[in-house]
Amino acid sequence: MTKRLYQMYLTALSLVLVVAVMITPALAVEDMWTVANRIIVDVYTKIVSISTVLAGLMSAIAVIGAKLSNNQQKTDQAWDWLKRIWLAWAVINGIGAFIAYVAPLFSGLATLTP
């Protein structure tokens, strides 16, 4: 019984020692909101750039499809796709413009005072 208790004590002590050695101090250079804002801006910038390239490419394909089609139904479908592509691109870029305009209005409201 004492040998088993001693083994449990030694295991618990070893576990505490291993955890204490493996813990690294977290020294934050920036606060959480600054880092989150930087990440959101970075990700959104990449999304906008990719959507712009894809919108240009898909617009070219839709126009080529409209010009090379031999019946009116396919031509109308190609122009409808072109409108959808432009609308989606405008919505994606409009979200960024809206956030860029509205975010400064709420800049002082995200603070907690103890």
The pLDDT tens digits of the residues spanning 11-39 come to: 999 998 888 888 877 666 777 778 887 88
Rg (CA), the chain: 29
Listed by start position, the domains of the chain span 29-106
For the cut 60, the answer to whether the pLDDT of residue 114 exceeds it is: no
- Per residue in 72-101, pLDDT (tens digit) is 998 999 999 999 999 999 998 888 888 777
Look up residue 58 and give its two tokens. Answer: 């898909």
For residues 40 and 12, what is the distance between their CA atoms, to the nearest angstrom? 43
The 3-class secondary structure across the chain, one letter per residue, is CHHHHHHHHHHHHHHHHHHHHHCCCCCCCCCHHHHHHHHHHHHHHHHHHHHHHHHHHHHHHHHHHHHHCCCHHHHHHHHHHHHHHHHHHHHHHHHHHHHHHHHHHHCCCCCCCC
> Quick one: pLDDT band at residue 41, thresholds 50, 70, 90?
confident
Other beta carbons within 10 angstroms of residue 62's beta carbon come to: 20
